[in-house]
Amino acid sequence: MATDGAKKPSEAELKDYEAQADAWFRENTPKDPGFMLPLTFMEVSTDQQFEFLCDWQRKVYEAGYLGTSWPAEYGGGGMHPDYQRISTRMMKKYDGPIILNAIGIGWAGPLLLDIGSEEDKHKYIKGMLNADDIWCQGFSEPEHGSDLGSAQLKAVRDGDEYVLSGSKIWTSLGDRAKYMILLARTSNDGPSKYAGLSFFLIPMKIPGIETRRIKKLTGEYGFVQSFFTDARVPAEGLVGKEGDGWMVAMKTLEYERGAKVNPAGGYYLKELDAMGVVDLARNSQRGGKPLLDDPVMRDKMVEQMMEIQALNLNNQRRRMAPLNQDKPMGLAMMNKLARTEMIRDLTEFSLGFQGTRAGYYVGDENAVDDGYWHRSYLNSFSATIGGGTSEIQRNIVAEHVLGLPKGR
């Protein structure tokens, strides 16, 4: 969602900007805070982590390196998207902490800038960027995980309010968020289950909404189940018209899946240090010899390296139209599936290096890399399941790229 008409910068301007951003992130990227930081916005477990990440996001925003290309009148930097790409790259270069407000900046923000009212843009955008207003997303329900279209949480119009009742689940940051983007059912009478869905922006800290933290397989917290009991929200929170919910939700998923190249994206998840696996293997022993002397492990390691390299190359090739003529959307549509599965596979593989120490977990002084690999492996399922499971992703690629029919 770039500022319309922001001037394409010259090479020299970009170079200057890069030097400036490079210096800023070199100077300001926090070093080890002394406690474990979340690798993704889905893993914020403690107040300490939350406050640290809010502070970091605010600092990046105030320095001009977040929302750089969003319109200035709403709180953005008003600059060309090329600038944001550079600052994002610099943030990664210095291995900065994640940007916390992923649902705000990655989903709700682009949506508002795309189809939101003038009033909404003024109301919401700046708070997203400076971390004053954390956002969460209420799509999944306990009975409807991958099948979002069947969402049942009810929204009934009552004067200038809607009354919400039902439950949402897997809501990252749900206990800390000020706002939620919500998919709710306003009707059961439409021609299809999708036709009865509507999309809302709602406040979270109101009577009738309660959240319960969910303990994850890692032992940490990060998301909640939320319960709506006749919660009354302002009707102006409706995005589009009643019944447009599915279309609007699909738009936000497009931002999420990166099918549209969103210049603001890319910093909500900490990239796994894949090459760290090689160091891990180098430092591991088997039979008194370096693990990487073992031909079987060497072979498996090469397979992992080829996989990592393929996905890095895919990301570059995605932007090269002549190398994508046959199935132009293929690389974009398969990216989520390929990347999340690669990380699950790689982190699982990394456990096999650690010998007896693979038995340790986060919190023990003998855990390899403080349990980073175990935690990463267990957390990797949040990405192979969340945002559409890998199985659903295969259906999406099969149907939208390969043209296979939908199953009935």
Task: For the beta carbon of residue 296, count every other beta carbon within 10 angstroms.
Answer: 7
Q: Closer CB to another protein, residue 318 or residue 374? A: 318
Q: Closer CB to another protein, residue 118 or residue 326? A: 326
Task: For the beta carbon of residue 110, count every other beta carbon within 10 angstroms.
Answer: 23
Does 365 bind another protein (CB under 8 A)? Our answer is: no
Does 329 bind another protein (CB under 8 A)? Our answer is: no
Does 298 bind another protein (CB under 8 A)? Our answer is: yes
The one among 72, 206, 250, 302 contacting another protein by CB under 8 A: 302
Does 404 bind another protein (CB under 8 A)? Our answer is: yes
Does 266 bind another protein (CB under 8 A)? Our answer is: no
Q: Closer CB to another protein, residue 206 or residue 302? A: 302
What does DSSP say about strands 135-138 and 179-185: parallel, antiparallel, or unpaired?
parallel
Considering the complex, what minimum distance in angstroms separates the CB of residue 314 from another protein?
5
Q: Closer CB to another protein, residue 240 or residue 330? A: 330
Kindly give the residue spans of alpha helices, DSSP state H, lying in 158-244.
none
Q: Are 252 and 111 in contact (CB under 8 A)?
A: yes
Size of the site for another protein (CB under 8 A): 44
Residue 264: partners with Cβ closer than 8 Å, 6 or more residues away: 1, 66, 67, 69, 70, 84, 105, 106, 109, 110
Amino acid at the residue 225: Q
Task: Please give the distance of CA 324 from its chain centroid, rounded to a whole number.
Answer: 26
Q: Are 103 and 255 in contact (CB under 8 A)?
A: no
Q: Closer CB to another protein, residue 217 or residue 320? A: 320
d(CA 41, CA 270): 9
The one among 311, 346, 367, 383 contacting another protein by CB under 8 A: 311
Considering the complex, what minimum distance in angstroms separates the CB of residue 38 from another protein?
27
Does 289 bind another protein (CB under 8 A)? Our answer is: no
Going by the DSSP 8-state scheme, the letter that residue 106 receives in this structure is I
Going by the DSSP 8-state scheme, the letter that residue 64 receives in this structure is T
Could you give phi then psi for residue 292, rounded to 5 degrees? -75, 5
Q: Closer CB to another protein, residue 187 or residue 390? A: 390
Considering the complex, what minimum distance in angstroms separates the CB of residue 324 from another protein?
9
d(CA 219, CA 375): 9
Residue 403: partners with Cβ closer than 8 Å, 6 or more residues away: none
d(CA 125, CA 108): 9
Does 207 bind another protein (CB under 8 A)? Our answer is: no
Does 331 bind another protein (CB under 8 A)? Our answer is: yes
Interface positions with another protein (CB under 8 A): 275, 278, 281-282, 292, 295, 298-299, 301-303, 305-307, 309-311, 313-314, 316-317, 320, 322-323, 325-326, 330-331, 334, 337-338, 391, 394-395, 397-398, 401-408
